[in-house]
Amino acid sequence: MIISRRMNLPCFCPVLLLALQASLLSSSMAESPQDRTQETYLQCLIDSSDPSSPPISPLAFFPSNPSYSSVLRSYVRNLRFNSSTTPKPLFIVTPTHVSHIQASVVCAKIHGLELRIRSGGHDYDGLSYVSPAPFVIVDMFNLRSVDADAEGGTAWVESGATLGEVYYAIAARSGVHAFPAGVCPTVGVGGHLSGGGYGNLMRKHGLSVDNVVDAVVVDANGRVLDRGSMGDDMFWAIRGGGGASFGVIVSWKIKLVSVPEVVTVFKVEKTLEQGATDVVHRWQYVADKVDERLFIRVVLLPVVRKDQRTVKAKFVALFLGGADELLDVMSQSFPEFGLEPKDCLEMSWIESVLFWSNYPKGTSPNVLLQRIPESEKFLKKKSDYVQEPISKVGLEGIWNKMMELKRPALTLNPYGGRMSEISDSETPFPHREGNIFKIQYSVTWKEEGDEALNQNLNRIRSIYNHMTPFVAKSPRSSYLNYRDTDLGINQIGNESYSEASIWGTKYFKANFDRLVQVKTMVDPNNFFRYEQSIPCMSSWPSRMAE
């Protein structure tokens, strides 16, 4: 009964809620979601779909279906959530038509099930396909068309497409267009665009969400809305607030950006013995202020060289221009780096996408169409923002901690440029002016079992604690697309504004309150809920009154 109580708590005022809870409790006493049969659910899906759309039955996978496990596993991108104890959905719907999404929403609602929406499945904490409550998955992978209109400079992209498919389609039509989004080609458009989306074009062109001009969404009532019919508030919220709190995003209209025919990349490594500390220290004063066509990422890894522990700093760059100009920019702004002509590689933008994904030179862009990564790992990630350069002594302390812990990798991504020109409240993504760079902390491992899990969670939490004095403090901030449930989660059925505001403020700063207002307006019954969904207003007046 706990389960049905958790499940049926909508986002209402508490007095109503108790009455409602009591009535739902008695009605669900006879039949819990697990007791209901496959036939009941399937019939609901059939009855709720548009009869003129393709039949939904072959697109619904129940545990009795031999393909259920492989469909479920296809987009599990973190082996922590591939275990026999990971909660499994009652069924998975793989829509080929918007009406299948509408039917899934309607039937999940009728039967009091939670709905998880999965596009590329890259959520670091598995929130697109795991839930502690009885749930179903709408898996968007069949809806993945990319309709690029290079002349008009826009494209309609379905949520189930991967970034690789988007990049491939753009490059197939134009050598001078691109889209600012993530570096990893298997990331899904659905989660990526609704959570911000950054990549190496960010300093020149901003985030993915800064380049979204329209969207098609299925809301909590099963209605299909576009930018005009959803209104400004919901269109604002889904561009960085996390789509899954507001609706199922079917497709996005994106604005393409111009890139030169020839861009330049480099990848240069330096260990501590080769002066990494000085160069990383200096990088902090340059990377967010230099020419906005230049993006220099730093990846820091503890490694062993000649039986000695050290830290390797890997600098990976994209410059939107030719090598000669890049060498000029670097010798003026960052002479300490010592960039040499032999480090620079000129290529097309699409080749730079492959370079950044570590494909060898000459690899065909067709690899961008591979949806499944070559290997899977267990992983945990966290993030921080840095607003003041870290001193050399501070950096040395960080290196020592990394060498002691052996595992965490830190990726530093510079901000500034276009990012500082967009106001904090333009979209829900608030980390704009004043941020020098973002850190991603990462542990990955291959060993199964709790021992390796706990060891690695301890490692990443330990470096995160160590970093406290060096990172943004008011609030300590995080990037939504680097999902981190350590920051706090909703108590199922008892989402409170005050608790959610702890993690909500880290992801959204002052925008959290507007997200709560939009949520309350567009989904007052809190149908679209998960561990870090935006709560409705309901819980907070009562808590304020306490």
Ligand X SMILES: *[C@@H]1O[C@H](CO)[C@@H](O)[C@H](O)[C@H]1NC(C)=O
Using CB under 6 A as the criterion, what x/- string covers residues 46-75 for binding ligand X?
A: ---------------------------x--
Smallest gap from residue 111 Cβ to ligand X (A) = 23
Residue 392 backbone dihedrals phi, psi, to 5 degrees: -60, -40
Q: Rounded to whole angstroms, how far apart are CA atoms 371 and 486?
A: 29
Pick from 32, 53, 65, 82 the residue near ligand X by CB under 6 A: 82
The residue among 224 and 487 lying less far from ligand X, judged by its C-beta, is: 487
Smallest gap from residue 312 Cβ to ligand X (A) = 28
Q: Rounded to whole angstroms, how far apart are CA atoms 285 and 48?
A: 58
The residue among 49 and 456 lying less far from ligand X, judged by its C-beta, is: 456
Structure tokens at 170: 């753009």
Smallest gap from residue 11 Cβ to ligand FAD (A) = 18
| Residue 376 binding ligand X, by CB under 6 A | yes
Instruction: Give the footprint of ligand FAD on this chain (CB under 6 A).
Output: 77, 116-124, 127-128, 140, 159, 182-184, 187-188, 190-192, 194-199, 242-244, 248-249, 481
Structure tokens at 412: 């530093």
Can you count the helices (H) and strands (E) in the chain?
A: 18, 18
- Hey, is 221 helix, strand or coil? coil
Selection from ligand FAD, ligand X, none that 494 binds (CB < 5 to 8 A by kind) is ligand X
- Burial (0-12, 13-18, 19+ Cβ within 10 Å), 474: exposed
Selection from ligand X, ligand FAD, none that 371 binds (CB < 5 to 8 A by kind) is none
List, in order, residues 6 or more apart from 176 with CB less than 8 Å away. Answer: 258, 259, 260, 261
| Matching residue, tokens 């370079």 | 355
Smallest gap from residue 302 Cβ to ligand FAD (A) = 20
Smallest gap from residue 137 Cβ to ligand X (A) = 16
Q: Are 217 and 248 in contact (CB under 8 A)?
A: yes
CA atoms within 13 A on the CB side of 8: 23
- Hey, is 61 helix, strand or coil? strand
Pick from 491, 502, 510, 541 the residue near ligand X by CB under 6 A: 491
Neighbours of 169 (CB within 10 A): 20
The residue among 226 and 376 lying less far from ligand X, judged by its C-beta, is: 376
Q: Are 67 and 82 in contact (CB under 8 A)?
A: no
The residue among 247 and 321 lying less far from ligand FAD, judged by its C-beta, is: 247
Q: Element (H or E) spanning 156, and its range?
A: strand 154-158
Selection from ligand FAD, ligand X, none that 79 binds (CB < 5 to 8 A by kind) is ligand X
The residue among 21 and 94 lying less far from ligand X, judged by its C-beta, is: 21
Selection from ligand FAD, ligand X, none that 496 binds (CB < 5 to 8 A by kind) is ligand X
Selection from ligand FAD, ligand X, none that 376 binds (CB < 5 to 8 A by kind) is ligand X
Applying CB under 6 A, the residues found at the interface with ligand X are 73, 79, 82, 376, 491, 494, 496, 499
